[in-house]
């Protein structure tokens, strides 16, 4: 039961931190140690945490999660203002996940988990995997690129026909991860290989752009494969 509640809280965290938090909110939080965006964001965190717990008594844990989330975000904003050249994304996410796991186990120990709905663990895991493979994975890949100082290749301004469509790469990444994840969950590993082979047929002008696309593709399919394998490990 603890594992199911942890997965539900991870879904709530992904929705609050990535889906419902806009880029503007994130930028405003980075400019001040404490801003209205901090409070608006943690309100979303609290609602999502309690709503997706499916446990009426979880409000105590959801409140604690919300307070710790706020303190973590304030700490991250302080670090960013102190050293603007560094990214603290992975540290921030690590603290959030550890907090979720710790509070869920503490809540289970002291109060017990009482779900209003008997949710199937496999279904919860599948939902968590698909949510993670959407916008959150795009952001994770972005910060992995930043961590290794991989810059986006410049577009060819002399040939407008070669310009990329705005956000097209993000949408392509989500679609390919969804396809790969669905196929892996169904055990169709050969079909995933065909998708990767089909994408490898594409040709890009310049070594830099080809390497950039290759790294992004490997990370994207790697995330989907890892998520799908974890889901399949759940009986």
> CB within 8 A of 94, min separation 6: which ones?
none
Average pLDDT over residues 2-15: 96
Residue 39 to residue 45: CA distance in whole angstroms? 10
- Is the pLDDT assigned to residue 162 strictly greater than 70? no
How big is the CA angle at 60 (ends 65 and 56), to the nearest 5 degrees? 115
Q: Looking at per-residue confidence, does 46 or 26 come out higher?
A: 46
User: Model's pTM, two decimal places?
Assistant: 0.90
Q: Which pLDDT value is given to residue 86?
A: 82
Average pLDDT over residues 102-130: 95
Is the separation of the CB atoms in 47 and 12 below 8 Å? no
Which of 107-111, 164-168, 182-186, 225-229 has the weakest average pLDDT?
A: 164-168
Mean pLDDT of the chain: 88
């Amino acid at each position: 039961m603890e594992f199911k509640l942890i997965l539900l809280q991870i879904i709530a965290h992904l929705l609050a931190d990535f889906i419902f938090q806009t880029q503007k909110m994130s930028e405003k939080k980075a400019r001040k140690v404490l801003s209205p965006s901090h409070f608006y964001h943690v309100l979303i965190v609290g609602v999502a945490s309690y709503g997706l717990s499916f446990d009426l008594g979880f409000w105590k844990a959801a409140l604690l999660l919300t307070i710790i989330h706020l303190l973590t975000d304030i700490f991250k904003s302080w670090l960013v203002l102190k050293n603007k050249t560094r990214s603290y994304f992975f540290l921030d996410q690590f603290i959030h996940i550890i907090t979720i796991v710790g509070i869920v186990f503490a809540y289970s120990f002291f109060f017990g988990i009482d779900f209003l709905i008997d949710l199937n663990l496999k279904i919860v895991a599948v939902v968590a995997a698909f949510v993670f493979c959407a916008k959150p994975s795009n952001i994770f890949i972005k910060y992995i690129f930043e961590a290794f100082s991989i810059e986006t290749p410049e577009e060819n301004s002399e040939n407008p026909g070669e310009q990329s469509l705005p956000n097209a790469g993000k949408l392509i990444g989500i679609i390919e991860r969804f396809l790969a994840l669905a196929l892996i969950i169904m055990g169709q590993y050969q079909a995933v290989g065909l998708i990767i082979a089909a994408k490898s047929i594409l040709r890009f002008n310049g070594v830099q752009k080809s390497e950039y696309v290759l790294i992004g593709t490997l990370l994207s399919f790697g995330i989907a494969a890892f998520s799908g394998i974890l889901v399949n490990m759940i009986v």
